[in-house]
Amino acid sequence: MSNKVYIYDTTLRDGTQGEDIAFTVEDKLRLSEQLDQLGASYIEGGWPGSNPRDLAFFEAAKKLKLKNARITAFGSTCHPNMKPAAYFKPLISAETEVITIFGKSWLLHVKKALRISQQQNLDLINSSVRYLKKRSSEVIYDAEHFFDGFKDNPEYAIKSLIAAEQGGADWLVLCDTNGGLMPHEIADIFKELKQHVSIPLGIHCHNDAEVGVANSIEAVRLGARQVHGTINGIGERCGNANLISIIPNLQLKMGYRCIQNSQLKKLSTMSRLVDELSNQQPRGNQPYVGQSAFAHKGGVHVSAVQKESRTYEHIEPEIVGNRRRVLISDLSGQSNILYKAQELGLELKAKDTVTKQIVKELKDLEHQGYQFEGAEASFELLMHKAMKQHKPFFKLIGFRVIDEKHPRGDKPYSEATIQIEVDGQQEHTAAEGDGPVNALDHALRKALYRFYPSLAEMRLVDYKVRVLPSNGAQQGTLKKNGEYTGTGSRVRVLVESADNDSRWGTVGVSENIIQASWIALVDALEYKLSKEQRKSRKRR
């Protein structure tokens, strides 16, 4: 049997049924091009006739020049009270090479949803496939709720597949629509089916029991050669089977051929693109592509990975377009620091006094409430300072922030005044903002532009504040009896900044939110300027 597995992506249709997920026509066209480059065989674009957006997409998609994938239109078997010519007109008008329709395999739906006889349903499946097959080069039949239907009445579920097969379907796709099946059930049912149908089988799983990926893989192991899923597993309720995990699992772990090995490197960027366009926060611990998928925090782990990556990594991260990260925290040992130094091109050795100083300072700062896992720019500055390789780019003389709210319904008014010194020259300026921190950020940049014009391309991308718990050593005030008061609550501010080339995170901690923000903002600017300085030195 061929080891080729055809990837059927339904992100643009099934994925958009997820809560808070929506794509514009332009989004769907862009995703189609990227899915094609990833190597998907089918891209299910939507349901023509169900909404104006899908109609517009299929019209625009006719101009796409895809190399690997075929755009697929989706619909259902004919309505019992309509003629096929009228019912299928929007589906055929989409002019796609492939049409996919779903039909009922579960008698519960035949009786309760369609309210027709068992035979009428079988006739609808057969006649719908037959009608479409005469007007399309390829017809895929999705057997909706097949596994639930099989568990309820195996004989009827199989009859529904045979009706589609006799109608001329090219593929029979078995759907775990409610997402509650277990892998061992998939195995038992697939073994039974081989005795009754002869055309190729596919699998379409949802993830309500969090085994959508496992069920899809088990189906392939037992003969399925078409796998449906979405990027990042987005979809209705708990989502669909996640192609981001399915593809590398099948290809790297089991020897199946889904896409080209070179295309595997696109998995990480594909995942991030779907998150970006659907306005979702990327899941850091997502297997293969998540930011934390190859992140190491414990000193023992880092030490081992430096010697042999296989000690704590199941694949090389670059294969799927990801990268190894060493996290800096109070769990870090010298191995973490040395790895980070090597990554940054800094010369540090295990026995150096400065290395021990950095480890101690790191642990002290984290004890106070600092966290460097999302603020690697702050940690890089810490290392440069410890190694006497960093000179501040400006000196603060002072700042003042005003935040006013008048009785009328206007928004609060925020203004910051700041005075700084650069190489003996002083600058005194003010700026307004949407809030006190925004005003301070604007005022600081305004004061620095005269000295450092490159700051004009820098922008603040994200700003997060966390109030640290008021108990424990890092937040309270130590009494003589060894207990802590709860009056010293602190806030941790994480700032994400970006320029035309990169993004970076910085952190500040204080009992005062403005002071914590100031620390993070200064680090962000210092990092940008030090980066420009290093570039300039290299050019020389």
Instruction: Indicate whether 474 pLDDT > 50.
Output: no
- Between CA 361 and CA 354 the distance in angstroms is 10
Q: Are 142 and 175 in contact (CB under 8 A)?
A: yes
CB within 8 A of 99, min separation 6: which ones? Answer: 72, 73, 74, 75, 91, 92, 132, 136, 138, 139, 140
The two three-digit tokens of residue 268, written as one number: 């990480």
Closest listed residue to residue 147, CA positions, set 121, 186, 118, 108: 186
Chain centroid offset of residue 367 CA: 31
Tell me: pLDDT of 485 over 50. no
Phi, psi of 157 (to 5 degrees): -60, -40
What torsion, rounded to 10 degrees, do the Cα atoms 28, 29, 32, 34 define? -110
- pLDDT winner (highest mean) among 234-238, 287-291, 298-302: 234-238
Domains with residue ranges and CATH for the chain: 6-259 (3.20.20.70), 295-386 (no CATH), 395-539 (3.30.160.270)
Separation CA 451–CA 394 (nearest Å):
10
Mean pLDDT score, 525-534: 90
Which amino acid is present at 238?
C
What's the whole-number average pLDDT of the chain?
Answer: 89
- Which residues of 350-391 form beta strands (DSSP E)? none
Residues 6+ apart with CB under 8 A from 505: 374, 375, 376, 377, 378, 494, 495, 496, 497
Using alpha carbons, select from 416, 352, 422, 420 the residue that is nearest to residue 388: 352
More confident residue, 488 or 302: 302
Helices (H), 97-241: 107-109, 118-133, 146-152, 154-167, 183-193, 212-221
Tell me the pLDDT tens digit for each residue of 241-261.
999 999 999 999 999 999 999
Amino acid (1-letter code) at residue 141: Y
The tens digit of pLDDT for each residue in 407-459 reads: 766 778 899 999 999 999 999 999 998 889 999 999 999 999 999 999 999 98
**Gap between the Cα atoms of 212 and 246, Å rounded:** 9
Q: Tell me the per-residue pLDDT of 4-49, one tens digit each, with 9 for 90 and over.
A: 999 999 999 999 999 999 999 999 999 999 999 999 999 999 999 7
Q: Which residues of 3-14 are buried (b: 16+ CB within 10 A; e: fewer)?
A: eebbbbbbbbbb
User: How far, CA to CA in Å, does 424 sit from each of 420, 451, 532?
Assistant: 10, 12, 21
**pLDDT given for residue 327 in this prediction:** 66
Each residue's pLDDT tens digit, 323-377: 887 766 545 566 677 777 777 778 777 777 888 888 888 888 878 888 786 788 8
The three-state DSSP-derived secondary structure of 381-396 is HHHHHHCCCCCCCCEE
Q: How many CB atoms lie within 10 A of CB 391?
A: 10
Q: Which two tokens stand for residue 206?
A: 């949802």
Q: What is the pLDDT of residues 322-331, one digit of tens each?
A: 888 776 654 5
pTM over 0.75: no
Which tokens hold the place of 375?
Answer: 């603020």
What's the N-to-C CA distance of the chain in angstroms? 60
Residue 371 C-alpha from the chain's centroid? 23
Angular region, 155: left φ>0, alpha ψ -120 to 50, beta rest: alpha
Confidence label for 478 from pLDDT (cuts 50, 70 and 90): very low
Supply the pLDDT for residue 348. 79
- How far is 251 from 96, CA to CA, in rounded Å? 29
| CA angle, 441 then 443 then 444, to 5° | 65
Q: Closest Cα partner for 212 from 173, 178, 189?
A: 178
Cα 402 to Cα 415, 432, 514, 534, distances in angstroms:
5, 9, 11, 36
Q: State the Cα angle at 311 between 306 and 316, rounded to 5°.
A: 75
400 pLDDT higher than 60: yes
Closest CA to 318 of 301, 282, 293: 293
Single-letter residue type at 93: S
Strand partners of residue 490: none
Amino acid identity for residue 221 in this structure: R
What secondary structure letter does DSSP report for 409?
S
Per-residue tokens: 498: 């970006």
Report the pLDDT averaged over residues 62-66: 94
Rounded CA gap, 436 and 200, in Å? 63
Specify the pLDDT at position 359: 82
Residues with Cβ within 8 Å of residue 280, at least 6 apart in sequence? 20, 21, 232, 234, 274
Residues 6+ apart with CB under 8 A from 431: 415, 416, 439, 442, 443, 446
